[in-house]
Amino acid sequence: MNGVHDMGGMQGMGPIRYEKNEPVFHAPWEGRVYAMNRALGAFRKWNLDAWRHDIELLPPADYLRMSYYEKWFAALEKRVVEYRFVTKEELESGKAAASAKAAPALTPEMARRIDRGIPSSHDPSVAPLFQAGQRVRARNIHPTGHTRLPRYARGKTGQIARDHGVYAFPDTNAQYRGEKRQHVYSVRFAARELWGENASPRDAVYIDMWDDYLERA
């Protein structure tokens, strides 16, 4: 989808602030938000791409003002109600309703298998549509749901640098329309192809792109 989260190539968004020796978490609550997200992921109610899309659906003004883990927390609040871990009233009051049924407990066995659920990228049954060294063009598409194809690369021509293997296709996986597993490539785009003649002729950008994002150049 085209939204404020897709900021690549945009100007006027302010400088990138580098923080030397940046801690993993800036405050204890950030660590708790991370832990809650990981723990709830063990129940397999959503997948990684649907999780990313929830963050993309935040109102633009909120997305721009929120910190990284504030966005996680806002999406988490929406998700626990949507998937019926709690009701909206319980979330707002901070107390379980008298008639509430106990949520299933996170067992030690579930905790041991908390991960993103990504199968092996080696899958000989899925043939690649492109090969290393091949010239390709990023398709000029504008899907309404989640996509990992950045706006600044659409319609641009590049070259396959390497094949990463087979992964779930984000655009369908985020909407629970199947994983549609396919090859993902590192595609090299010359900086001038993306940004114009003012870009350095020595620079390039490498973007990971699925089969369905590409066409022959």
Q: Which residue ranges make up each domain of the chain?
A: 28-112, 135-216
Give 173-188 pLDDT, tens digit per residue. 999 999 999 999 999 9
Distances (CA, A) of 5 to 51, 53, 57, 66, 150: 14, 10, 9, 12, 10
pLDDT reading at 172 higher than 90: yes
Give 65-74 pLDDT, tens digit per residue. 999 999 999 9
Which letter does DSSP use for residue 199 in this model?
Answer: S
pLDDT reading at 106 higher than 90: no
pLDDT of residue 84: 87
Which amino acid is located at 10 in the chain? M
The arrangement of secondary structure in 135-216, i.e. its CATH architecture, is: Roll (2.30)
pLDDT reading at 23 higher than 80: yes
pTM of this structure: 0.87
Q: How far apart are CA 162 and CA 131, in angstroms?
A: 8
Listed residue (157, 164, 165, 162) closest to 135, CA to CA? 157
Q: How far apart are CA 97 and CA 48, in angstroms?
A: 30
Q: How far apart are CA 156 and CA 189, in angstroms?
A: 8
Q: Which of 1-5, 137-141, 152-156, 203-207 has the lowest mean pLDDT?
A: 1-5
The H or E element that residue 192 is part of is helix 191-195
